Amino acid sequence: MAEWTKAQVKERVAKRQSLERADLRDLDLGGLDLSGVSFRRAELRGANLEKSVLRRANFSSADMREAFLAGADLREAILQNADIEGAKFDGASLQEADLTRVNASGASFERAVLSGARLAFAELDTANFGGATLKGAMLSGSNLTEAYLGGAKLGGASLRDARMPRANLEKADLTECDLRNADLTHATLHGCTLNGARLGGIQASPSQFSTVIADWVDVATDGADQRKIRGSDLAAHIEGAAMGRVFGTAGAGAEADGKRRYFGEGDFLGGAHLEFREGSLVEIQSRFENCAITLGPGAKLILGENGVFEGCRIEGAGDILVQGRVTESGEGPSIVGPRCVVVAASGSLVATVKQPAEQTRFGFEPGCHLRLKITR
C-alpha cells in the first residue's frame, strides 16, 4: 500500500517539493495538476493518473507498471528508463516526451499522440499503438516485436541510426499504418504485416521486404490519392524508387517491362559473365568473385550493403550505386565506361574507373571508403 495519501501529495506539490522515491502504489491521483513534479525512482505501480496534467514531469527510473494514465497530459515529460510494462496511456498526450530505454512491454498507447517523442532503445514488444500518432518520433534501436500499430501514423518517423541496433518490427502488425516518408533503413521487418499500409516516400532497401505479409500496399505520396500495388511487387517498387532518388529517375521503365534482377544475401557467384540489357534494374546482395558484368545503356546496378565484388570487371554505359564493397585485383581498370558512379556512406570502392568520352558523373557520401583512380 502507498505510504502517501492524495491530500499529502497535493500539499507537497503546492509547496513545490519533489516526490522522488515516494511510495504511491495504487494511489488515486486522477485529475491533479502535477506539472514539472519529479517522480524519479518513485513507486507508482497500479496508480491512477487518469487525465492528470503531467507536463514536463520527471518519471526517470520510476516503477509505473500497470499504472492508468488514460487521457493524461505528458507533453515533454521524462520517462527515461521507467518501467511502464502493462500501463495504459490510451488517448494520452506524449508530444516531445522522452521515453528512451523505457520498458513498455504490453503497454497500451491506443490513440495516444507521441509526435516527436523519443523512444530510442525502448522495449515496446506486444505494445498497442492502434490509431496512435507517432509523426517524427525517434524509434532507433527500439524493440517493437509483435506490437500492434494498426492505423497508426508514423509519417516522418525515424527508425534509423547506424550507431544503434536495428529497430525491430519483427511480426508487428502495421495494417493500414501510415508510414509515408518514414526512414526504415535500419529496421527489421521480418514477418510484419503491412496490409493496406501507406508507404509513399519511405527510405528502405528492397531486401527488407522479402518476408513481409501484405496483399496490397499504397505507395502514393500524395495523401489525397491512392496507388495500390501488390505486396509481392513491393521490393521491386522500393528498388526502383531508391535508384530514382540516387540518379534522378523514377525507374518506371524497368518496373513496367520487368527487366529486374535480384541476387540475395548469402549467394556466391564466381567466374561468371553476366549481361544486363538496356534499362535493367539490378540489386546484388551476394558475393561475386572474378565476374564480368556488362551493363546496357541506362542499366542500373545496386551493390547492396551485403554485396561484395572481388576482382570483378564492370563495363558499359550504366549507373552504379555502391553500398557494399568493391575491390579491384590485378590490372585495372575494373569499371569501364559508366555513366554514373555513386558510393553511399556504407560503401567501399577500391578500383580504377575508365570514363567514357562524355565523362562519368561521380557522387560520394560522407563516410564512404575510397581508393580510386580515374582515367580517360
- What is 254-288 written as a DSSP string? HHHHT-EEEE-TT-EEES-EEEE-TT-EEEE-SEE
For strands 361-364 and 348-354, give the pairing.
Answer: unpaired
The distance of Cα 144 from the centroid of its chain, to the nearest Å, equals 11
- Residue ranges of domains in the chain: 260-375
pLDDT band (50, 70, 90) for residue 238: confident
Query: C-alpha cell of 48?
Result: 491512477
Measured between alpha carbons, how far is 260 from 239 in angstroms, rounded to an integer?
9
pTM of the model: 0.66
Beta strands in the chain, from DSSP E residues, in sequence order: 167-168, 187-188, 216-218, 228-230, 260-263, 268-270, 273-276, 281-284, 287-289, 292-295, 300-303, 308-310, 313-315, 319-322, 325-327, 335-336, 340-343, 348-354, 361-364, 369-375
Query: C-alpha cell of 51?
Result: 487525465
pLDDT one-digit tens code per residue, 1-31: 567 889 999 999 999 999 999 999 999 999 9
Measured between alpha carbons, how far is 107 from 125 in angstroms, rounded to an integer?
9
pLDDT one-digit tens code per residue, 189-210: 999 999 999 998 888 888 888 8
CB atoms within 10 A of CB 270: 12
Mean pLDDT within 148-153 = 97
User: Over 50: is that where the pLDDT of 256 sits?
Assistant: no
Is residue 133 classed as helix, strand or coil in its secondary structure? Answer: strand
Question: For the ranges 218-222, 271-275, 356-360, which has the lowest average pLDDT?
Answer: 218-222
User: Over 90: is that where the pLDDT of 152 sits?
Assistant: yes
Which residue type is seen at 250? Answer: A
User: Over 80: is that where the pLDDT of 259 sits?
Assistant: no
CB atoms within 10 A of CB 90: 20
Measured between alpha carbons, how far is 45 from 33 in angstroms, rounded to an integer?
19
